[in-house]
Amino acid sequence: MDTTPLAKPSRSRLIAASIGVAVFLGLVWFIWGQTASIKVAENDWPWWRGSNHNNIGTGDAATEWSESKNIRWKSDVPGRGHGSPIVVGTSVYLASADDLTKTLSLYSFDRATGEPKWETPLTSGEAMHKSIKNTYASSSPACDGSSIFYPWISDQQLWLASVSVDGTLNWKKPIAPFISEHGYGSSPCLYQSLVIIPGDNLGTSYLTAVDRQTGNIVWQTQRSAGGSYTSPVIHPSAGRSQLIMSGQNSVVSYHPATGEVLWQCEGPGLSTIGTASFNDRLAFFTCGASPMIAGVMAIEMNSGKIVWQADAMANVPSSLLVDDSLLVAEDRGTLVCYDANSGQKKWKERIGGNLSASPVAVGDKVFLPQESGIVSVFEVGDSLKRIAENDLGDGGFASPVIIGGEMFLRTEHFLYCIANDPLAD
C-alpha cells in the first residue's frame, strides 16, 4: 500500500482559491442585489406613509374639492378596507375584502383615469376574529417596483403574498401561527431584498423578514406576546439603519438585515397602533389604549434613551412631524401640537368628529380625514389656521396619499383622485 503523504497545497494556491471564492460570492451577491433592488420613482408612494416613511407629500395639492370640483376621477371599490392605497408607476394599488364571503383581494387602478386594471384574490382559509372597527383589509400594500406585498390573517395563520404589477400571483405563504384579538392592521416594510412584517398576537409573537423573490423566511425574531397593531418603520440613524416598532410596553430597535436587537426601552403602552414619526435625532411614539405608560414619547435613536413624554390619547392615528412641530391626532377629534425637541405643548384644538386616519402634510398644509368623511385642511404654526373642510358624503378610515399634487383618497366605497383643475377659475 502506498503510504506517500499527500502534497500540501502551497500558500499561494490557498490564497488564490480564497480570492476566487470571494470574487464568485461577490459576483453572486452583486447580481442578486441588482435583481432584488427596490425600483421606485420620486413620484411614487410605494408603501405606508410614503417613500420616506413620514407621510409628507409633494406638489401643489388641492385644498378644496367636491363632487363637482377638483375631482379628476372616482372609482368604485368592491368590499371594505381601511388600508391606504399606494401609487407606483402608472398604477394605484389597494386591498379590499368582502365581509360576507371573507374574500380578500388586491386591486389595481389606472393612475391617470381610475379605470380598474385587475383584481387578484389572496384569501386562504377562514377569516379570523376582528374588531367591529377593523376590516379584513386594514393594511397598506408595499411595492418594490415589480411586485406588491400584502399580509393578512386567516386559518389561525399570518399570511404574506407577492403579486406582480400585472396582477399575477408570484407566491403566497403562511408565515407563522396567529391568535387574533382584534384582527390585523400592520403594514409591511421593505429593506434591501427583504419584506418585513410584524406578528404581534395573543400567542407567540414575532417579527419576520421574508425573501421578496422566494417567500422564504430569512430571519424571525420573537417578541413579547400581546395584541398590537403598529407598523415597523426603517430609518437611518447613528450611522446605521434601524427598524423601530412599539408594543408590549416597549420600543425596540432592530437591525433590519438580521433581526438583531440594537436597543430597547420602556413605553409607550401595551397595545399600540400608530406608526412612529422621527427626525434626525428622535423617534416619536403614541398610545391611546390602557394600560399605557405615556400618550406620546420621544426617544433618542442613538441610545434608546427617553428624552420626553407627555399626556395624549392617540390610539389609531399616527403622529406627524412638520418642521419642529409634532402633531398628535387623538381619536376623539382633537389635535395636539408639541415642540418636537422639548415636548412642550404648543396648543390643542378640536378638529371635529372621531379620527382614525393619520394626517398628511404637503408644504405648510396638513390634511386630516374624520371617520365621517370630512377632510380638514389647515396650516400649522404657533396656532392652527383652518383653511377648508371638504365632505364627499362617504365616510372612511384610510389616510390620504398626496404625491405630485394628486391626492388619492379612499372612502368607504370609492377611490378618488383629487387635484387642482387647470380649467377652474
pLDDT in tens, the chain (425 residues): 444 443 444 544 544 444 444 444 344 333 444 347 899 999 999 999 999 999 999 999 999 999 999 999 999 999 999 999 999 999 999 999 998 888 999 999 999 999 999 999 999 778 889 999 999 999 999 999 999 999 999 999 999 999 999 999 999 999 999 999 999 999 999 999 999 999 999 999 999 999 999 999 999 999 999 999 999 999 887 778 999 999 999 999 999 999 999 999 999 999 999 999 999 999 999 999 889 999 999 999 999 999 999 999 999 999 999 999 999 999 999 999 999 999 999 999 999 999 999 999 999 999 999 999 999 999 998 999 999 999 999 999 999 999 999 999 999 999 999 999 865 54
17 is a domain residue: no
Q: Write down the pLDDT at residue 399.
A: 98
Q: Write down the pLDDT at residue 264.
A: 96
CATH number of the structural domain spanning residue 198: 2.130.10.10
332: nearest Cα among 307, 309, 315: 315
Q: Write down the pLDDT at residue 34.
A: 39
The SS3 of residue 35 is helix
User: Beta-carbon neighbour count of residue 176 at 10 Å?
Assistant: 17
138 is a domain residue: yes
343 is a domain residue: yes
**Residue 366 and residue 349 in contact, taking contact as beta carbons nearer than 8 Å:** no
Q: Write down the pLDDT at residue 120.
A: 98
Q: Write down the pLDDT at residue 29.
A: 37
Q: Write down the pLDDT at residue 6.
A: 39
130 is a domain residue: yes
70 is a domain residue: yes
202 is a domain residue: yes
226/204 Cα distance (integer angstroms): 8
Instruction: Tell me the C-alpha to C-alpha distance, in Å, between residue 364 and each of 63, 256, 351.
Output: 12, 33, 18
- Name 50's Cβ contacts closer than 8 Å, sequence gap at least 6: 56, 57, 401, 403
36 is a domain residue: no
Cell of 118: 385587475
* Number of domains the chain is built from: 1
Q: Write down the pLDDT at residue 423.
A: 55
Range of the domain at 399: 42-418
Q: Write down the pLDDT at residue 421.
A: 84
pTM assigned to the model: 0.90
37 is a domain residue: no
135/157 Cα distance (integer angstroms): 17
